[in-house]
Amino acid sequence: MNIDPFWATFFVVLGGVIGKLIDFFIGRQRNQLEEKIHFIDDIQEEILRLQTRVTHLEKQNYDLLVKMAELQAENGRLQAENEWLKEKVSKMEQNN
């Protein structure tokens, strides 16, 4: 069986072209996947950064709530002391 050199060359070239097209599309898909993976990694880093920031802000909020409670307690103590002093001054004025 003799194969015509033209057709043999044609199919070899066609196979090479098809192989190159497959490589091109696979490479293109690989690049797209790598870009998507990089994008997802960037999003995950941003999520981690935001979670860290939220944790820091929650701690600050807790610290401020504790400080506010301390100041409210101090305010109550000072108001009680102020009332006591007013009563004492009032009694002293009545004695004079």
Residue 56 in domain: yes
Residue 5 in domain: no
Residue 13 in domain: no
Structural domains counted in the chain:
1
In this predicted structure, the answer to whether residue 1 has a pLDDT above a threshold of 90 is no
In this predicted structure, the answer to whether residue 62 has a pLDDT above a threshold of 80 is yes
Name the residue range of residue 46's domain: 36-95
Q: Residue 78's closest CA among 35, 70, 20?
A: 70
Mean pLDDT of the chain: 94
In this predicted structure, the answer to whether residue 56 has a pLDDT above a threshold of 80 is yes
**Residue keyed to tokens 């100041």:** 71
Residue 42 in domain: yes
pLDDT at 6: 87
Tell whether pTM > 0.75.
no
Residue 40 in domain: yes
Residue 75 in domain: yes
**Sorting pLDDT into bands at 50, 70 and 90, what band is 60?**
very high
pLDDT at 58: 98
Q: Exposed e or buried b for every residue in 1-37, given b needs 16+ CB within 10 A? A: eeeeeeeeeeeeeeeeeeeeeeeeeeeeeeeeeeeee
Residue 87 in domain: yes
Q: Residue 68's closest CA among 82, 76, 54, 83?
A: 76
Tell me the C-alpha distance between 32 and 41, whole Å: 14
Looking at this protein, which amino acid is placed at residue 34?
E
Residue 88 in domain: yes
